[in-house]
A and B are shown apart, each in its own frame.
Chain A
């Protein structure tokens, strides 16, 4: 693809998803757009870009943007974070009252993060009390997530073998999440640039390795939207090594990437 094609795609991705594509990502973008060009019976990515440019077709634009987003994820990514949630945070929430514990996986890609949340939640909560909402821009990634089928390689990156045996069943040379895990998660196609308030309030908002790919104004606005769906005593979780500045109302915890709303800033006040 030409530098002009890449600039056009980068502009689409910035406007529709708030994500920055650097000028040296030409090979990555071309690799990702190739399958869409073939599906549209076009001979090249250049032709695909030309069609998107000339027609402004919304569905095609969405597909192009979704394909350029990084879907890199694995089970138990940031192991210390999930250990902390399992050993400390979730047991405390479980003993709070009998209400369901609500968790948000924002930018869930192919679902590994949401399933990891479900696995650690099942350690101390009965399935009816686990309410996980997982959202992503990419319909294709969500389709895979919802099916819950992962390759031999995917289930060996980060996932302990005992968790694999307990939560997955073998399906030929793939592994499929068991029904109790799948039933605790609701998948929704959502753009993080749009309002999220109808999703309700969450005890833990996880947005890991997402905002660091965003343009800075889009990241700041998305952070505000995520904060607005985080409960007064809630946690926000980012990547352990990710450089994200959490909202002012949140204070660091000893676990890198995990932030708790400070009691000095209840939600109603911090909103103003």
Chain B
């Protein structure tokens, strides 16, 4: 069985490493991207099953990426879980309205990612 893929998008290398280790433990194959542009370029080559998406990033932020992703062929396939330090309820609602399936407020741990992935049916 081919394992499912999860694209980890964050401009912090440390954060990507932490998240990658967690999603690998949840039996996803992890791919890393440092901003929205890199993420979009990956998605054009191979659409992932899940995307763990930071909001605030240089070059292209999470919201702009999400909007562009949904315009791509098969761009509605990935379940997008936002992962951001933003905790303002109105801003979180904004991200959900733009198509995020779930939302993780940083800081997080493995239990939280597992719980959120479970909530959207990824595991």
Cβ of A181 to closest chain B Cβ, rounded Å: 16
| B100 (CB) vs chain A CBs: closest residue | A161
B89 proximity list for chain A (CB < 8 A): 165, 169-170
Task: Flag whether A79 is at the interface (Cβ < 8 A).
Answer: yes
Q: Is the CB of B93 within 8 A of A160?
A: no
- Report yes or no: A161 in contact with B112, Cβ–Cβ below 8 A: no
Contact B87 A161 (CB under 8 A): no
Please pick, from B93, B96, B112, B118, the residue contacting A156 in the complex, using a CB distance under 8 A.
B112
The answer to whether B93 and A157 have CB atoms under 8 Å apart is no
| Contacting residues, chain A, for B103 (C-beta < 8 A) | 161
Tell whether B37 is near chain A: CB-to-CB under 8 Å.
Answer: no
B 85-123 contacts with A by CB, 8 A: 87-89, 92-93, 96, 102-105, 107-109, 111-112, 115-116, 118-119
Chain A residues with CB under 8 Å of B107's CB are 152
Q: Are B116 and A156 in contact (CB under 8 A)?
A: yes
A116-147 at interface with B (beta carbon < 8 Å): none
Closest to A168 in B: B89
A156 touches B92 (CB 8 A): no
B-facing residues in A135-184 (Cβ within 8 Å): 152-153, 156-158, 160-162, 165, 169-170, 173
Q: How near does chain B come to A113, taking the closest CB pair, in angstroms?
A: 16
Could you say which residues of chain B place their CB within 8 Å of the CB of A161? 92, 96, 102-103, 116
**Across-interface contacts of B105 in A (CB, < 8 A):** 152, 156
Most chain A CB within 10 A, of B88, B108, B116, is at B116
Which residue from chain B places its CB closest to the CB of A75 in the assembled complex? B115
CA of A212 to CA of B64, assembled, Å: 49
Q: Chain A residues with Cβ under 8 A from B116's Cβ?
A: 156, 161
Cβ A153 vs Cβ B112 within 8 A: yes
Tier of interface size on chain A: 10 to 19
- Binary per-residue interface labels of chain A (67-83) against chain B in the complex, 1 for a CB within 8 Å, 0 otherwise: 00000001010010000
A156-B105, A156-B112, A157-B112 are contacts. A165–B93 as well, Cβ < 8 Å? yes
Contact B104 A156 (CB under 8 A): yes
Residues of A within 8 A of B88 (CB): 170
A156 CB contacts on chain B under 8 angstroms: 104-105, 108, 112, 115-116
Query: B112's closest neighbor in chain A, by CB?
Result: A156
Cβ–Cβ contact B115 & A158, under 8 A = yes
Residues 187-212 of A, flagged 1 when their CB comes within 8 A of B and 0 if not, give 00000000000000000000000000
Residue of B102, B109, B119 near A153 (CB, 8 A) is B109
- B87: chain A residues at CB < 8 Å are 152, 170, 173
Q: Are A162 and B96 in contact (CB under 8 A)?
A: yes
Shortest distance between the CB of A254 and any CB in chain B (Å): 19
Q: Are B111 and A157 in contact (CB under 8 A)?
A: yes
Contact with A along B14-34 (1 / 0, CB 8 A): 000000000000000000000
CA A152 to CA B110, docked complex, whole Å:
14
Contact residues in B for A160 (Cβ distance below 8 Å) = 102, 119
Determine how close the nearest CB of chain B comes to the CB of A166; give it in whole angstroms: 10
Closest Cβ–Cβ distance, residue B98 to chain A (whole Å): 13
Residues of A within 8 Å of B109, CB to CB, are 153
Contacts of A158 on B, CB cut-off 8 Å?
115, 119
| 8 nearest A-B pairs in the assembled complex, by CB-CB distance | A161-B103, A156-B112, A160-B119, A157-B115, A158-B115, A165-B89, A161-B102, A170-B89
**What residues make up the interface of A, taking CB atoms closer than 8 Å to B?**
74, 76, 79, 152-153, 156-158, 160-162, 165, 169-170, 173
Q: Apart from A153-B109, A158-B119, what 9 extra A-B contacts exist at CB < 8 Å?
A: A74-B115, A152-B107, A157-B111, A157-B112, A157-B115, A160-B119, A161-B96, A161-B116, A165-B89
